[in-house]
Amino acid sequence: MGGCSAVPGLCRSPHEGSATVCETDHLEPSGMSRRNLMGLLGAAGAGLAVAPVLTSDPALAAATDLALDPKTLPADPINYEPPTTLAADSPAKDSAISWIDRNSHRIVGLNDRIWEFAEPSLAEWNSSWAEADFLRANGFTIEWGSGGMPTAFVATFSNGTGKPVIGFSGEYDALPGLSQEKGNPQHSPLVYHHDPYAPTYGFGHGCGHNALGAAAAGAAAATAAAMRARNLDGTIKFFGSTAEEQLVGKSVAVRAGVYKGLDAFVDWHPGSSNSTSWASSNAMYSIAFHFLGTDGHGGSPLATRATQDAVTAMGMLTEYQRESDHAHTARVHYAIRQSGQAPNVFPTLSSIWYFAREGSPARAKVLMDKIIKCGEAAAMATGTRMQYRIMGGVWNKLGNKRGTELMNANMLQVGAPTFSAEDQAFGKALQRSNGSAETGFASTISELRPPATVFMGGGSTDVADISWQVPTIQMGTAHQPDGTKNHSWHHTATGAHHAGHVTTLAAAKYLAATTVDLLTQPTVVAEMKDEFARRTAKIKWKSMLPDDYQLPLYEPPKWFLQRTGQAWPPPGVTWPPKRIVSTETAPDLGPALPPANLPPLE
């Protein structure tokens, strides 16, 4: 997705195969004085250098507090005190939380089933069905195939006038190589594929999406139950989202208009603390590169266009850029997905997959172009042919201060997760195996602080695209002990353990409590919308995906299509996809050398 100004004549053509990137006028400072600006950027001396950068990049600036009304900004970010009275006491909220308590075994059961399925992105056949079936059993209607993706769905519950409309997000994809036995603090893959030359581990929920989907579904069902019991007006829309790990699902669905008509969106993600924030994230491009060459034999390597050399050279070139040609906000990382399978066989096809992350779509585009140049150079040096394809593209996240304050107040009202002594012993054992300080799981609500005034980069999420359509609130719970990393087997180990259950149920309560307030406090929703309008006044969202983007789909099994009532392929999808096949010929090594027994030329 790329930002595009309403001002005509400022769009420029991008590199072939990428999305349009538009140069826009800066966000107006809203009458902010030099003192206001310096206060926001901090007294460390970086303010003067950073301020022009923020205001010249509209997507980056909109995500900072520079875009807010100075009257509502924290006067002193260091001594900011979040409001504590936003979370209301109400019978409806009590009903929702009581529903979660009564149905905790069902929410935990859904969590554990998805953990056991551990299905990859875009192929979550069982996981998506389990989540949709849970919601159907609790009064939601289901529509499958959102945005042309078979495992994406929208579940809807409406009562009374149907207004306001609040969105939930459910994810359920796992990660490769992160299989792990539940509750085991020592590395022991649950699924181990034996190969004496290259053993591999199975998929595992090392990002906690089993909990993410289960808690959100539980919160949506609890809110619907409270709406029925207390006759609350409103609509709950639950978006079952595929392929978050590949940053595909939501960005494609947003481009297709799936998220239109929402008044607010609530989301969460498992983490290592019980916290919320209105901070931003990195925009990102996902690009797959394919190098095509010729056959060769390890014992006779001459006259071979070596594709394995090409991916190795590309990795080396992008590594060399890190020190001198990447900003501090940039993140570049890659995986060689396909190359040589035996030392004596030169592959005719090798593939390498890159993520290019930066603070805004425009900055991510610059970074992506540098990576593409490295691919072109690697192909030129090895005599191979390079193709690349944009697999995904997501914006930087647009936070909402007022919505975050509402979530924080509800987290404090509900209270922190309560871990047992056994839970904490397990958490400390995980930390010990990781070499981290043995502090256990976080058992307090972290203090809400304003985001850093200077964005320093980080991860990415396809929730970001939603955040540019509707005011979006995010929070996290201590689903893994501090010091252990996300996308690790340590996180997989907690996913179906009692400690993970505790924070999954806490997350469901935080989401449900906040949503009840959104349904019953129109003033807060109006304040969130006013903030959203101010942040987006000078920038228009445009998908970072190219116009000819093709979904990276897998064909569903017949039982899934029949059960969900879908046809294959989806509209607009060509199936089978075009094959990538090498047609290269051997390189020219020059005139033949003279026979070895001839005398030398004089």
339 and 457 inside one domain: no
Mean pLDDT of 420-430: 98
pTM attached to this predicted model = 0.90
pLDDT of residue 73: 74
357 and 296 inside one domain: yes
pLDDT of residue 36: 43
Say if 337 falls within a structural domain: yes
pLDDT of residue 84: 84
Phi, psi values for residue 544, rounded to 5°: -80, -10
348 and 448 inside one domain: no
pLDDT of residue 285: 98
514 and 403 inside one domain: yes
Residue 404's CATH number: 3.40.630.10
Distance CA 149, CA 222 (A): 27
Phi, psi values for residue 537, rounded to 5°: -65, -30
pLDDT of residue 301: 93
Query: What pLDDT, in 10s, does the model give residues 274-327?
Result: 999 999 999 999 999 999 999 999 999 999 999 999 999 999 999 999 989 999
368 and 265 inside one domain: no
Say if 589 falls within a structural domain: no
Query: What pLDDT, in 10s, does the model give residues 199-253?
Result: 999 999 999 999 999 999 999 999 999 999 999 999 999 999 999 999 999 999 9
Say if 481 falls within a structural domain: yes
Residues with Cβ within 8 Å of residue 205, at least 6 apart in sequence: 114, 115, 118, 174, 175, 178, 211, 491, 492, 495
pLDDT of residue 568: 97
245 and 345 inside one domain: no
End residue of a domain, out of 394, 426, 449: 394
447 and 309 inside one domain: no
Distance CA 300, CA 304 (A): 9
Say if 86 falls within a structural domain: no
Query: What pLDDT, in 10s, does the model give residues 92-101?
Result: 999 999 999 9
Say if 218 falls within a structural domain: yes
Say if 569 falls within a structural domain: no
More confidently predicted of 44 and 234: 234
pLDDT range class, residue 593, cuts 50, 70, 90: confident
- Does the pLDDT of residue 29 top 60, yes or no? no
The amino acid at 495: G
pLDDT of residue 42: 41
More confidently predicted of 485 and 35: 485
- Which residue, among 334, 468, 543, has the nearest Cα to 62 in the 3D structure? 468
pLDDT of residue 602: 65
Mean pLDDT of 394-404: 97
Distance CA 345, CA 347 (A): 6
Distance CA 17, CA 388 (A): 8
320 and 238 inside one domain: no
Residue 291's CATH number: 3.30.70.360
Mean pLDDT of 432-438: 97
Pairing of strands 165-171, 264-271: parallel
- Token reading at 468: 């540019």
Q: Which domain holds residue 341?
A: 287-394
pLDDT range class, residue 533, cuts 50, 70, 90: very high
- Token reading at 209: 């999406």
Query: What pLDDT, in 10s, does the model give residues 446-467?
Result: 999 999 888 889 999 999 999 9
381 and 423 inside one domain: no
DSSP 145: -
- Does the pLDDT of residue 570 top 80, yes or no? yes
Mean pLDDT of 493-522: 98
71 and 97 inside one domain: no
End residue of a domain, out of 21, 55, 79: 79
pLDDT range class, residue 40, cuts 50, 70, 90: very low
- Does the pLDDT of residue 598 top 80, yes or no? no
pLDDT range class, residue 518, cuts 50, 70, 90: very high
Query: What pLDDT, in 10s, does the model give residues 335-380?
Result: 999 999 999 999 999 999 999 999 999 999 999 999 999 999 999 9
How many other CB atoms sit within 10 Å of the CB of residue 325? 11
pLDDT range class, residue 597, cuts 50, 70, 90: confident
Q: What percent of the chain has pLDDT over 90?
A: 84
pLDDT range class, residue 76, cuts 50, 70, 90: confident
Q: Is the CB of residue 180 less than 8 Å from the CB of residue 96?
A: no
pLDDT of residue 600: 66
Mean pLDDT of 38-44: 39
pLDDT of residue 264: 98
- Does the pLDDT of residue 180 top 50, yes or no? yes
pLDDT of residue 594: 79
pLDDT of residue 549: 95
pLDDT range class, residue 78, cuts 50, 70, 90: confident
Centroid of chain to Cα 184: 27
105 and 25 inside one domain: no
pLDDT of residue 408: 98
Distance CA 372, CA 328 (A): 20
End residue of a domain, out of 503, 535, 567: 535
Mean pLDDT of 407-435: 98
The residues facing 484 across adjacent strands are none
Q: Mean pLDDT over all residues of the chain?
A: 90
Say if 219 falls within a structural domain: yes
Q: Is the CB of residue 365 less than 8 Å from the CB of residue 285?
A: yes
Q: At what angle do helices 209-230 and 91-102 cross, to 10 degrees?
A: 130
65 and 193 inside one domain: no
User: Considering its fold, how many domains does the chain have in total?
Assistant: 3
Say if 6 falls within a structural domain: no
Query: What pLDDT, in 10s, does the model give residues 105-140?
Result: 999 999 999 999 999 999 999 999 999 999 999 999
